[in-house]
Structure 1
């Protein structure tokens, strides 16, 4: 019901009805591999090198060994997977292309996965209609038209977007046993959340920190952007330029120029001084969920699906923790993610781009491969419940269901949802859809950095050197730190990036409104 309502809203603002056809085609079919890949015996064997984001789970080789058996049979290819840890994402992703590393396939995303930055530097292979028809017929047949429009950079496509309709809004995981201990009845807004976090920070004898705020600066999105109903411009240095999701005019702004940014910076200083996170967070490699799942922190923050997954797994191993999904965003408007928020791309120097595309088609539409890459081995990592539900098993620690970076090939046609998903998840999503969902033309805009490549690199370095310490509250004088940050940004050429972005947005809005 929720999806149908969201779909109706999407269609009302001009998105394609191709999704409807996708949903009506059923969930149990095998991929129809056709064209050049119809006879694998005529294809030379190849190994496709692929990069995923995250840390390699212990059962990964076993699972992907089974994936490769099917790949070998169908397209005479196997996948050789490397992982780029979350903690290295910001520093090493683009270096893979700058160094000329030889690989074929990689996860990408418009808002957080460097899609436009790499595409405009000729790092990704152009995907054409003819290629899709020949080597990825299932993707060609099923991908929503709007997804292709969102993926265009200078009228060319360099990624295969997910076809998922999802919210990216961050929520928190919270320990119900600690809430009870500290007399916190509910968490429905930021005041409730901070009352809980303050209580945890004051209980120094427990040894539990509030949050693992290492690499990724986990509170940027919920506290710098979503709290104020700000959206981010895709393709600019992250985070730097945004817009008000409630403003349809196309007006943009630099976060650092907003009074809300100073308010955010002071809040992070307050949290750091209260000991919410470790003093070594600026160099920490901590992920957003590991310490929470180990009982070392009292909260984690991520999208609602990921938080619900961790809550479900933790409550199986530690039912006494009573882990809950806490939505602090009541009363705040938000948008549905673009399709390009998750996707897959081919390296421009790949020696086998056609076979890579064939492999992506199988990842997306072969039922056996899809279930393996998303959920693991049935009976060991998950239990199938019909064609569209699953239950994680105790063995999923070896291959966390839906969390080994399969998001780039999500398929509405084959996707499963957790059979034991907490009812609160559906209730929260339904509330968001009914009361707090808006559309904005800038959600689909992506900045082309072709004219400011040197400035992009310089500004990225400034964000790391001067912005991250502010995110972590590690500055003695917040106002002076923000002032210095602004000065360093402009010295690095941020004003030129901003002017170029304004120019492109104006042209985009002109076309949008015509």
Structure 2
């Protein structure tokens, strides 16, 4: 989710690739020359249309923007300030529609299929990005970016555009602030210290801590994961795949965050758990089952919709989270509910050069639906958000009220009325600020993963799966998986019988998807030789 974060797919037209700032070793250095600076078109932030003799102010336009999550308390204040700033240039008003994460896939698909008037919409490969593109719901952005998106281009590295293609076109503005999404366990530091435990360095130590919580805190659930919607990657057992290195498992391009089809290491092959179960992955399933039956994983994990509120309540010992570090909003809210309580970030993601394989794809995108009557103005707005002062407003809120700037690249959150969520609509690696409250190790993780040279490129970098030939099979398989996957990886149901049911109902469709995906990968790799 939030990477949800952790984040994919948008590429810039090849005509711009040569002028994009940010080379492979300077992924966060794209403030210099960008495609926009080399373009002969009018600046994307231009406020008016000129015919050479006079300038005509743009007519006012209201953009309907569909966002994931819950509406922040101060959202109206931020919108009012943004509209004030835009009045004399792009002349845009904002109508933001928030959809709960748990309902996001279904409701946004209905919106698009019904032709509801929407100008910008959040989507992601782990949601239904490829399917919506294949269905023809999104407008290619190549020309719009060239004419109106120079600033939006400049704040994103060349890798972000080159690697995030859908069927050879730009179908969404990529949202991300690093080349590798963070994965963290949020641990109650106060409880760990209360039991005299040292900082957690391994998964086994995390579980030892969880058992201590169960033994000593009758009102605290030791472990919390996700069990609803598209958050299959945040089910307890599945979450471990982001921190495994022998072998390194990578989700396929066909089934979002599902582990049923996957890549292993960097060999260009598509593996299928229905053909042969990976012992390591099965051990995660069995481990989750034991933790659930021992009373460590939240008993209502499949029913919980608002995970953050559960963490904030202080009734959780540790929770999975799709970023590095601890969000200030969570620690602030937690401390209000449980004085003295504090969260700390625990991650087993390696910070070793070359250890992590990545295809440089991002997990989140802003797309422009075909039905939008305001496509040009929507791109002007995305471009406007890339300017530093405007990004700060939409990402962090009102300075002095919602946040305090710390230098040019960090911030401190004030209160909880406008929590950090640029990942949902404006995220980029150049203007994004790091939380000044992050611990030193978290800061190092972000800085390390902003540099593409520290990562091993996947041989599938630049590959884009076209789901059109197997759209029906994907739809049928996803419906089947929704019944079993989270309960399996969260340990809620018996592993053997649950896996048998999933395999019986889903194996045939998964095999057809696998064959088509491998066919396209083979063609892609053949072209590279």
Q: C-alpha distance in 2, partners of 1:269/1:103?
A: 42
Q: CA deviation at 1:197?
A: 1.4
Cα distance in 2, alignment partners of residues 161 and 189 from structure 1:
33
CA pair 377-32 structure 1, distance change in 2 beyond 3 A: farther
- Structure 2 gaps of 5+ residues are 1-21, 35-41
Q: Which residue number corresponds to residue 164 of structure 1? A: 177
Residue 508 (structure 1) aligns with: 524
Instruction: Name the CA shift for 1:323/1:152 in 2 (closer, same or farther; >3 Å).
Output: closer
Taking the aligned partners of 1:193 and 1:499, their CA distance within structure 2 comes to: 39
Match of 1:199 among 212, 215, 221: 212
Tell whether 2:355 aligns with 1:300: no
CA distance in 2, matches of 1:327, 1:142: 28
Q: Secondary structure at the match of 2:405?
A: strand
Cα deviation 1:426-482 (Å, max 9, x = unaligned): 345578889994332235433211001111111011111122221222223x22321
Q: For the residues of structure 1 that align with 2:197 and 2:468, how far apart are their CA atoms?
A: 51
* Structure 2 residue 456 is the aligned partner of structure 1 residue 438: yes
Distance 1:335 1:262 in 2: 22
Q: 2-side partners of 1:200 and 1:21: how far apart? A: 44
1:357 and 2:374 matched = no
Q: Alignment partner of 2:180: what SS?
A: coil
Q: Please say if residues 177 and 322 of structure 1, whose CA atoms lie closer than 8 Å, have aligned partners that are also in contact.
A: yes
Give the alignment of 1:211-230 within 5 angstroms.
211=224, 213-215=226-228, 216-217=231-232, 218=234, 219-227=236-244, 229-230=248-249
Aligned residues: 486
| Aligned with residue 369 of structure 2, among 331, 334, 347 | 347
The structure 1 residue matched to 2:129, chosen from 110, 115, 120, is 115
Residue of structure 2 in register with 1:5 after alignment: none
1:278/1:164 Cα in 2 relative to 1: closer, same or farther (>3 Å)? closer
Cα distance in 2 for residues equivalent to 1:281 and 1:319: 26
CA contact 2:27–2:159 (8 Å) conserved in 1: no
Q: Distance in 1 between matches of 2:226 and 2:176?
A: 31
| Greater displacement, 448-457 / 296-305 | 296-305
Which segments of structure 1 move beyond 6 Å, counting only runs of 4 or more? 430-436
Is the partner of 2:457 in helix, strand or coil? coil
Measure the CA separation in 2 of the matches of 1:434 and 1:151.
15
| Residues 427/360 of structure 1: CA separation in 2 closer, same or farther (3 Å cut) | closer
| Aligned residues of 1:233 and 1:243 also touching (Cα < 8 A) | yes
- Contact kept, 8 Å, 1:114 with 1:235, in 2: the verdict is no
Which residue of 2 is the match for residue 323 of structure 1?
A: 343
- Range with bigger deviation, 328-337 or 356-365: 328-337
Q: CA deviation at 1:168?
A: 1.5
Report whether the alignment pairs 1:268 with 2:288. yes
What is the aligned partner in structure 2 of residue 22 from structure 1? 30
Shift of 1:379: 0.8
**Inter-partner Cα distance in structure 2 for 1:77 and 1:435:** 39
1:374, distance to aligned residue in structure 2 (A): 0.5
Call closer, same or farther: CA 1:276–1:378 in 2, change over 3 Å: same
Contact kept in structure 2, 1:209 and 1:297, CA below 8 Å: yes
Conserved? CA contact 2:185–2:318, under 8 Å: yes
Distance 1:97 1:315, change over 3 A: closer
Partner residue, 2:19: none
Alignment of 1:381-396 (within 5 A): 381-393=402-414, 395=415
Using the TM superposition, give the Cα deviation of residue 47 of structure 1 relative to its aligned residue in structure 2, in angstroms.
0.8
Name 2:268's counterpart in structure 1: 250
Q: CA deviation at 1:179?
A: 0.9
Deviation at 1:138, TM superposition (A): 2.0
Which residue of the partner structure matches residue 281 of structure 1?
301
| TM-score calculated relative to the size of structure 2 | 0.83
Structure 2 CA distance for partners of 1:471 and 1:90, relative to 1, 3 Å: farther
Task: Tell me the distance in 1 between the aligned counterparts of 2:56 and 2:314.
Answer: 52
Instruction: Return closer, same or farther for 1:65/1:469 CA change in 2, 3 Å cut-off.
Output: same
Supply the distance in 1 between the matched residues of 2:157 and 2:453 (Cα, whole angstroms): 26
Residue 369 of structure 2 is aligned to residue 369 of structure 1: no
Spell out the pairing of 1:78-157 with structure 2 (5 A cutoff).
78-110=93-125, 112-128=126-142, 130-141=143-154, 143-157=156-170
Rounded Cα–Cα distance in structure 2 between residues aligned with 1:342 and 1:165: 12
CA RMSD across the alignment = 3.2
* Cα distance in 1 between the residues matched to 2:166 and 2:194: 52
More helix, by proportion: 1
Most deviating of 234-243 and 68-77: 234-243
Distance across 1 between alignment mates of 2:327 and 2:299: 28
Aligned to 1:7: none
5+ residue gaps, structure 1, are 1-13
Cα distance in 2 between the residues matched to 1:427 and 1:311: 21
Contact 1:17 1:144 in 2 (8 A): no
Compute the TM-score of the two structures, normalised by the length of structure 1: 0.85
Other structure's SS at 1:83 match: strand
User: In 2, Cα distance between the equivalents of 1:120 and 1:506?
Assistant: 21
Worse-superposed segment, 416-425 or 463-472 = 416-425
